[in-house]
Amino acid sequence: MAEKLKLDKSMALYAEAKTLVPGAVAGIRRPYNFVEGEYPIFFEEGKGGRIIDVDGNEYIDYLCAYGPVIIGYREEEIDNAVIEQIRSKGFCFSLTQSVQNTLVRKLQEHIPSCEMAAIVKTGSDATTIAIRVARAYTGKLKIARHGYHGWHDWCVEVKGGIPEKFHEDVIEFHYNDLDQLEDILKANANDMAAIIITPVGHPLAAEVEMPKPGYLEGVRKLADQYGCVLIFDEIRSGFRCHMGGAQKLFGVTPDLSTFGKAMANGYAIAALVGKRDIMKMLEKEVFLSSTFFPNSDAQIAALKTIEILERDKVLDVVAEKGRRFAAEVSKVVADSGIPAVFSGEPWMPFITFPRDDAGLYKKLRTEFYTQLIRRGVFLQPYHHGYICYRHTDEDLAYTVGAIKDSLADLSGLC
């Protein structure tokens, strides 16, 4: 068993924050989403593939800020480009700076579905405007969805404060189940505006799924058959699975797509991209505006991030690291004798514990992630991780060993 971490400063800041901020910290970063009393609550700094909490504990970070950090923390080349933009030109104006056009042309180079683009700030912005555009374009109402698409009224899982009418026309379906999706489309054939799906399946606290052969092609065919807009939510998979997203990797082009997270290595930006005739709904029929959407600091960061991804073949390196890591971890899990599952190869590693009637999986999950964080490996019990460019071979080797030791610590529970 590993020694418990010293977290006195984190806990003191948490106690203070509870008097200042509802829940102390926002949403998914709250302690109950980790292992309470074992994980830090406040970070101090990060560099490369590592982060340090306010108590001075250092971790190899595989959560990567929930996905935006594709290269590493505090990348000087990106930060310096942003600093230069701020110092020499500024970044927030009443009108748009020309870097917008440069960035959209770069997105067109890589993303198959990108004939036009609208630049926003968050994934929730992008998915919500995608739904608005799809409804305006088709003149229809209902949405079939799979995946996490943000915190807005139409899609958020926690329904407090949201009238039912805001989400009653949104119908969920299971990933890799074409029959269920077709049943939904048949039942709503005259009023189905869009299908929105994460092309890589990553449900909360469950195994990451890759599409079965023919699945995404089947979804594309059904969208065409029923006259609805196909939207790929690539907020997580974009600029991670491939420079052109999962759509490029798997060879299936949607009508609209959302990108964000890894697009700017941590700077706040997202984009809705898509076919010209659909995107043109944003000219008159659909309203989209924000004080901060045109800010150029994040656009500069995105351009520099994409430049580095291209130049250094970052995604090839990440995928190769992820494949090697997955092979080693899969063997460790198999050899452990513990009922555990490794998924998400090669970009989104996740260790989960299959549900059982006795609830053993909860004890295994809690103890495993307790031992892992004590060994300085930062992964989340309910959310898959990520591999970034700055994770070294030594980082990955250490992590494999930490996973092996943490699984061994579970033997007394089985």
User: Do residues 202 and 241 lie in contact, with contact meaning Cβ atoms separated by under 8 Å?
Assistant: no
Task: Return the pLDDT at 87.
Answer: 98
Does 240 lie in the same domain as 143? yes
Q: Domain containing 42 — which CATH number?
A: 3.90.1150.10
Determine, yes or no, domain membership for 181. Answer: yes
Q: What is the domain extent for residue 372?
A: 8-73+314-413
406 and 269 inside one domain: no
pLDDT digits (tens, 9 = 90+) for 326-381: 999 999 999 999 999 999 999 999 999 999 999 999 999 999 999 999 999 999 99
User: What does the pLDDT look like over 231-273, one tens digit per residue?
Assistant: 999 999 999 999 999 999 999 999 999 999 999 999 999 999 9
Helix (H), strand (E), coil (C) string for the chain: CCCCCCCHHHHHHHHHHCCCCCCCCCHHHCHHHCCCCCCCCCEEEEEECEEEECCCCEEEECCHHHCCCCCCECCHHHHHHHHHHHHHCCCCCCCCCCHHHHHHHHHHHHCCCCCEEEEECCHHHHHHHHHHHHHHHHCCCEEEEECCCCCCCCCCCCCCCCCHHHCCCEEECCCCCHHHHHHHHHHCCCCEEEEEECCCECCCCCCCECCCCCHHHHHHHHHHHCCCEEEEEECCCECCCECCHHHHHHCCCCCEEEECHHHHCCCCCEEEEECHHHHHHHCCCCCCCCCCCCCHHHHHHHHHHHHHHHHCCHHHHHHHHHHHHHHHHHHHHHHHCCCCEEECCCCCCEEECCCCCCCHHHHHHHHHHHHHHHCCEECECCECCCCCCCCCHHHHHHHHHHHHHHHHCCHHHC
pTM attached to this predicted model:
0.97
Q: Are residues 94 and 81 in the same domain?
A: yes
Same domain, 257 and 368: no
| 154 domain-assigned | yes
Task: Determine the average pLDDT of the residues in 22-37.
Answer: 95
Residues 185 and 318 in one domain: no
Domain boundary among 311, 334, 369: 311
| pLDDT of res. 205 | 84
Give the pLDDT of residue 124: 98
Q: Is residue 245 part of a domain?
A: yes
Per the domain annotation, does 128 fall within a domain? yes
Is residue 27 domain-shared with residue 93, that is, in the same domain?
no
Residues 121 and 195 in one domain: yes
CATH number of the domain residue 234 falls in = 3.40.640.10
Q: Which of 274, 296, 311 marks a domain boundary? A: 311
pLDDT of residue 176: 97
pLDDT digits (tens, 9 = 90+) for 81-98: 999 999 999 999 999 999
Residues 19 and 114 in one domain: no
The answer to whether residue 414 scores a pLDDT higher than 90 is no
**Do both 341 and 212 map to the same domain?**
no
Q: What is the per-residue pLDDT for 290?
A: 97
Same domain, 62 and 142: no
Predicted confidence at residue 296, as pLDDT, reads 98
For position 237, what pLDDT does the model report?
98
Q: Determine, yes or no, domain membership for 175.
A: yes
Residues 306, 318 share a domain: no
**Residue 211 placed within a domain:** yes
Same domain? For 336 and 400 the reply is yes
| pLDDT for res 342 | 98
Is residue 173 included in any domain, yes or no?
yes
Domain contains 3: no
Among 267, 296, 311, which residue terminates a domain?
A: 311
Banded pLDDT at 412 (limits 50, 70, 90): confident
Number of domains in the chain: 2
